[in-house]
Chains A and B, each alone.
Chain A
Amino acid sequence: MGLTRQSFGAASLREKFAISTKSGQKIIALAGNPNTGKSTVFNALTGLNQHTGNWPGKTVLQAQGSFYYLDQEFVLVDLPGTYSLLANSIEEQVARDFICFADPDATVVITDATCLERNLNLVLQVTEITERVIVVVNLLDEARRKKIQVDLGKLEQELGVPVVGTVARSGEGLDDLKQKIYDLAKGRINPKPTMIKYDIRVEECINTIEPLISELHLGRLNTRWLALRLIDGDMTIIEGIEQYLGVNLSDSFKSEVSLEWAKVQVN
């Protein structure tokens, strides 16, 4: 009981993000830090079949395009380049909302092989939200030039999601990427990402909050991740839940909550 989720199927959710889909198309989100060659991958996959606009209600550019692989048509949505999904900026909020509320069939995270550590922060945050993730380690040519080697097999094993190495500029590895997208979107592979273990204090909080959230039955929304957002005081996620899941939290409740948070933040 509680939520009338039935009326908010994936299709209507996608409308809220201004993604036009025909039936049978699979939605693929493209995330990544700025300057990782995300746009190169986007262009290489979709070619001329793309159109741009704005995210609904935001002045952030949205680009989407489509491509076929084997018998399947995909819609690729280029998310704003961000370093994290902690909703510090409008771009981060847009990217996060799409990944967690639009329910894409796969999320591809582009990373820069020459500074993988920084890029992994985003990867880890994405794998917390959804299991259907593919990590692309791009700019392998630059890494080779800088004598940086990335053990892709080991990365795949550590992360628990498929990893593809590419040089998007020359097209290297893109067929492999399409195959992985196909397999993932079609449900042929089911990644089980390794969860980040937080320190005891944080884990305690999660353990208290997560069961309560599960009782709300918020559909595919990852309860552990939602618990983390609530614990860290992210008010934007409540906005997101209201906006995309159609849960109306009363104004008095909201203002009470935000007041509390304001106090907490000041301390």
Chain B
Amino acid sequence: MGQSASELDFGNIMQIVRNTSHDGEEKIRDRIVSNIYARAEELAERVVTKSQTRNLDRTIDNILTSPILGFPIMLLLLGVVFWLTIQGANVPSSMLAEGLFWVEDRLTDLFMYLHVPTWLDGVLIHGMYRTFAWVVSVMLPPMAIFFPIFTLLEDLGYLPRVAFNLDKLFKKSGAHGKQSLTMSMGFGCNAAGVIACRIIDSPRERLIAVITNNFVPCNGRFPTLILIASIFMGGLAASTYSSAVATSVVVGLVLTGIAVTLLVSWTLSKTLLRGIPSSFTLELPPYRKPQIGQVLVRSLLDRTIYVLGRAIVVAIPAGIITWILANIHIGDMSVIAYVANSLDPFASLLGLDGIILLAFILGLPANEIVLPIMFMAYLSEGAMLELESLSVIRDLFVSNGWTWLTALNVMLFSLLHWPCGTTLWTIHQETKSSRWTILSFLIPTVIAVGVCFLTTQLVNLLGIL
């Protein structure tokens, strides 16, 4: 009775609403919202008087987030940061390598003096110490340059502006604008980025952000990308341009990562996680003068030392295991060669080799150790090079059959492959769902395999190599 009457009335009203308000023109909600905003603006203009002195922030924002200049400035800044890192890291890297390998020689002398058995000498010096030396000399300088600059930009308040610029793209992908923020967090650490996805209210959009966070390189993967780009891609060009080439490769990779993020978000929002993006307000905090001293200390302690420490802690046991695997023989083949050989056919389809793939698999606990494992595995195969400068790494790779295509595929695979163990665990914590965790593993893996496969086949087909 009473209820049915109201039902009827409401039904009529909704019918009329449909007829009156929707005829394919601009969405009525947008009109309503823009009317409210216009009124607020008008009101503010009438009651607020501002002295002109304080409008510097607004002026800077208008440039940094302008539709025309916003993106070029972002690219430029990204480029400058990487260029400084690549250019600046060369010298200290070789100095560190020299110093640490001088110590290695002295340690060997000491071991010989003490008549330490050869196998122990192998495990400790060639397994443990050499890995440690490599991780430190290869990873420390880029990190010590990259992280302070990145922290400086963060401290200045630039990252929210990046998020602002990217917001539109994310909305077009059917995702939440806040995903640009969680993605930016991912540049630091994907696990942190996944936790940051809590700021997104809609479960659908949060899942998209969680699953795609992995596509931006984190602290653990940046050194790998930067190193391979500078020793391999940079080496392709004349030495005057090598840093510039290496920089553009890294910038290109980051852009690829963002493009894949958007593409996967779009695909998910059209298939598994269908829905309409919700809107939000992004507050642009005022620019602050960064406290340089604090930035230096914080980025060195919180990031550089932290990442390096993690790398060493995981790399040392990994180094020992790798050394042992490389020195235990099945027939006339070492275990590592055996496993690598069995992975080889598949890996070569992707333009990688068995050892690279093995390194990525063993690197599941932490991306930082992928490169050290590769060194160890290659070095253990008899190619005992006197490693004293960065160019030797290149020689080591080349002598193991690397081409620029291998380097490119390693970088692409590193960028796109499965999330590290910590991130996967965090995803499980956040989603409380094994299904989404497995999917967060599978989607990047399939993409990484697919992209590397296509790249390799395309290059082979065109015969560019």
User: A-side interface residues toward B, CB under 8 Å?
Assistant: 1-4, 34-35, 83-84, 86, 88-91, 116-118, 120-121, 123-125, 146-152, 154-155, 158-159, 196-199, 201-202, 204-205, 208-209, 212-213, 215-216, 228, 230-233, 238, 247-250, 253, 257, 260, 264-267
B279:A88 contact, CB within 8 angstroms: yes
Q: Which 8 A-B pairs have the closest CB atoms?
A: A117-B44, A147-B51, A120-B40, A232-B29, A83-B281, A89-B201, A2-B5, A149-B49
Q: Which residue of B lies closest to A82 (CB)?
A: B281
CB distance from A158 to the nearest CB of B (A): 6
A201:B31 contact, CB within 8 angstroms: yes
Of A88, A151, A205, A215, the residue contacting B278 (CB under 8 A) is A88
CA distance A151 to B51 in the complex (A): 14
Does chain A have a CB within 8 A of B276? yes
CA distance A262 to B447 in the complex (A): 31
CB distance from B266 to the nearest CB of A (A): 15
User: What are the interface flags for B38-68 relative to A under an 8 Å C-beta threshold, 1 for contact and 0 otherwise?
Assistant: 0111011011111101100000000000000
CA distance A146 to B9 in the complex (A): 53
Whether A116 contacts B48 in the complex (CB less than 8 A), given A2-B2, A196-B39, A230-B17, comes out as yes
A88:B40 contact, CB within 8 angstroms: no
Of the candidate stretches B20-28, B146-154, B395-403, the one touching chain A is B20-28
A86:B20 contact, CB within 8 angstroms: no
Does chain A have a CB within 8 A of B460? no
A4:B2 contact, CB within 8 angstroms: yes
CB distance from B199 to the nearest CB of A (A): 10
**B residues near A267, Cβ cutoff 8 Å:** 22, 24
CA distance A204 to B32 in the complex (A): 12
Of B7, B14, B41, B280, the residue contacting A230 (CB under 8 A) is B14
Does chain A have a CB within 8 A of B425? no
Whether A151 contacts B2 in the complex (CB less than 8 A), given A212-B9, A264-B22, comes out as no
Whether A118 contacts B47 in the complex (CB less than 8 A), given A198-B32, A202-B35, A260-B18, comes out as no
Does chain A have a CB within 8 A of B33? yes
CB distance from B53 to the nearest CB of A (A): 6
Of A86, A197, A209, the residue contacting B17 (CB under 8 A) is A209
B21:A253 contact, CB within 8 angstroms: no
B2:A233 contact, CB within 8 angstroms: no
Does chain A have a CB within 8 A of B13? yes
**A residues near B462, Cβ cutoff 8 Å:** none
**B residues near A4, Cβ cutoff 8 Å:** 2
CB distance from A9 to the nearest CB of B (A): 17
CB distance from B279 to the nearest CB of A (A): 6
B6:A247 contact, CB within 8 angstroms: yes
A121:B35 contact, CB within 8 angstroms: no
B278:A228 contact, CB within 8 angstroms: no
**A residues near B54, Cβ cutoff 8 Å:** 146-148
Of A34, A155, A266, the residue contacting B47 (CB under 8 A) is A155
Of A90, A213, A233, the residue contacting B29 (CB under 8 A) is A233
CA distance A139 to B312 in the complex (A): 49
CB distance from B38 to the nearest CB of A (A): 9
**B residues near A247, Cβ cutoff 8 Å:** 3, 6, 10
Does chain A have a CB within 8 A of B429? no
Q: Which residue of B lies closest to A117 (CB)?
A: B44
**A residues near B7, Cβ cutoff 8 Å:** 248-250, 253
CA distance A65 to B61 in the complex (A): 40
A151:B47 contact, CB within 8 angstroms: yes
Of A125, A152, A228, A257, the residue contacting B14 (CB under 8 A) is A257
Does chain A have a CB within 8 A of B272? no
A/B interface sample: 21 pairs, CB < 8 A: A2-B9, A3-B6, A34-B283, A89-B201, A116-B47, A121-B36, A124-B40, A150-B47, A151-B46, A198-B35, A205-B21, A209-B16, A216-B10, A216-B13, A228-B32, A231-B21, A233-B21, A233-B29, A248-B7, A257-B14, A265-B276
**B residues near A35, Cβ cutoff 8 Å:** 283
CB distance from A58 to the nearest CB of B (A): 11
CA distance A208 to B14 in the complex (A): 11
Of A147, A158, A213, A232, the residue contacting B53 (CB under 8 A) is A147
User: What are the interface flags for B424-455 relative to A under an 8 Å C-beta threshold, 1 for contact and 0 otherwise?
Assistant: 00000000000000000000000000000000
CA distance A157 to B78 in the complex (A): 49
CB distance from A75 to the nearest CB of B (A): 28
Does chain A have a CB within 8 A of B37? yes
B47:A154 contact, CB within 8 angstroms: yes
**A residues near B391, Cβ cutoff 8 Å:** none
CB within 8 Å of A: which B232-254 residues: none
CB distance from B197 to the nearest CB of A (A): 14
A121:B37 contact, CB within 8 angstroms: yes
Whether A204 contacts B281 in the complex (CB less than 8 A), given A2-B5, A158-B43, A232-B28, comes out as no
**B residues near A230, Cβ cutoff 8 Å:** 13-14, 17
Does chain A have a CB within 8 A of B294? no
CA distance A249 to B53 in the complex (A): 57
B31:A202 contact, CB within 8 angstroms: yes
**A residues near B33, Cβ cutoff 8 Å:** 86
Does chain A have a CB within 8 A of B12? yes
B281:A213 contact, CB within 8 angstroms: no
CB distance from A7 to the nearest CB of B (A): 11
Does chain A have a CB within 8 A of B11? yes
CB distance from A249 to the nearest CB of B (A): 6
CA distance A253 to B6 in the complex (A): 12
CA distance A248 to B11 in the complex (A): 12
**B residues near A125, Cβ cutoff 8 Å:** 36
CA distance A198 to B47 in the complex (A): 21
CA distance A151 to B43 in the complex (A): 11
Of B16, B49, B280, B281, the residue contacting A208 (CB under 8 A) is B16
B48:A233 contact, CB within 8 angstroms: no
**B residues near A149, Cβ cutoff 8 Å:** 48-50
B43:A3 contact, CB within 8 angstroms: no
**B residues near A204, Cβ cutoff 8 Å:** 20
CA distance A88 to B281 in the complex (A): 10
Of A2, A199, A253, A265, the residue contacting B35 (CB under 8 A) is A199
B31:A212 contact, CB within 8 angstroms: no
Q: Which residue of B lies closest to A226 (CB)?
A: B13
CA distance A152 to B25 in the complex (A): 39
CA distance A149 to B54 in the complex (A): 13
